[in-house]
Amino acid sequence: MSSSYLILTTIIIFLLIFLYISWIFISNEIENKKETGERRDFLYTASYALGAVGLGAAVWPLVDQMNPDASVKALSTTEVDISNIDVGKSITVLWRGKPVFIRRRTQEEIIESQNTKLTELKDPQKDQDRVKKPEWLVMLGVCTHLGCVPLGGKGDYKGWFCPCHGSHYDKSGRIRKGPAPTNLPIPKYEFVDNNTIKIG
């Protein structure tokens, strides 16, 4: 990335110098012969265009430095021991600074979630598509409206309720009512063994 960047910048600088010099030549010519401006117009446009590209190339590092850095990216997986979560209980773990809900669902919850009609949903998704094993619901605890952490076992659907602007989620974490546009997202995760989940 950085070496290709260097090459690009060098080429642009050379082109700019080239354009600048030829522009001086042309303007001398114009002064001497009062030539029409076509060649000059082309050079103006070309140098402005290249100047804009060069400026963009110079500004990009200043913009990109704000993106997640290497140390932030390095923290992108978390392993969680789930052996001591009882049926009907949930835990919350931090993954990339965000809460992840891990819930061991009861049989009734699973059946209720699987039997919900898709037509009732704002963001239709089958419960089967939201879990790897029906007993375990693993999802981001981040409201899809503006990012608050919803409260468990609350709201009109006894799933999750976001206190910030009143979004109601059902027992599968699907949005049912309120300003949030989509279901609680499912992060990338896998079962390493029966007792461990790797998130990320």
Site residues for ligand FES per CB under 6 A: 143, 145-148, 162, 164-167, 178-180
Q: Is 67 in the site for another protein (CB under 8 A)?
A: yes
Give 54's contacts (C-beta < 8 A, 6+ positions apart).
9, 12, 13, 16
CA-CA distances (angstroms) from residue 114 to 80, 130, 174?
26, 10, 12
Residue with tokens 């990335």: 1
User: Among the residues of the chain, which ranges form H helices?
Assistant: 2-33, 38-64, 70-74, 107-115
Residue 94's binding partner, choosing from another protein, ligand FES, none, with beta-carbon cut-off 5 to 8 A by kind? Answer: another protein
Rounded to whole angstroms, how far apart are CA atoms 78 and 199? 5
Q: Is 66 in the site for another protein (CB under 8 A)?
A: yes
- Is 165 part of the annotated catalytic residue set? yes
Question: By rule CB under 8 A, what string of x and - marks binding of each residue 9-48 to another protein?
Answer: ----------------------------------------
Catalytic residue among 165, 182, 185, 192: 165
| Binds another protein (CB under 8 A): choice among 164, 186, 191, 198 | 164
Q: Is 1 in the site for another protein (CB under 8 A)?
A: no
Comparing CB distances to another protein, the nearer of 34 and 97 is 97
Give 163's contacts (C-beta < 8 A, 6+ positions apart).
148, 150, 151
| Binds another protein (CB under 8 A): choice among 6, 49, 58, 72 | 72
Q: Which residues are known catalytic residues?
A: 165
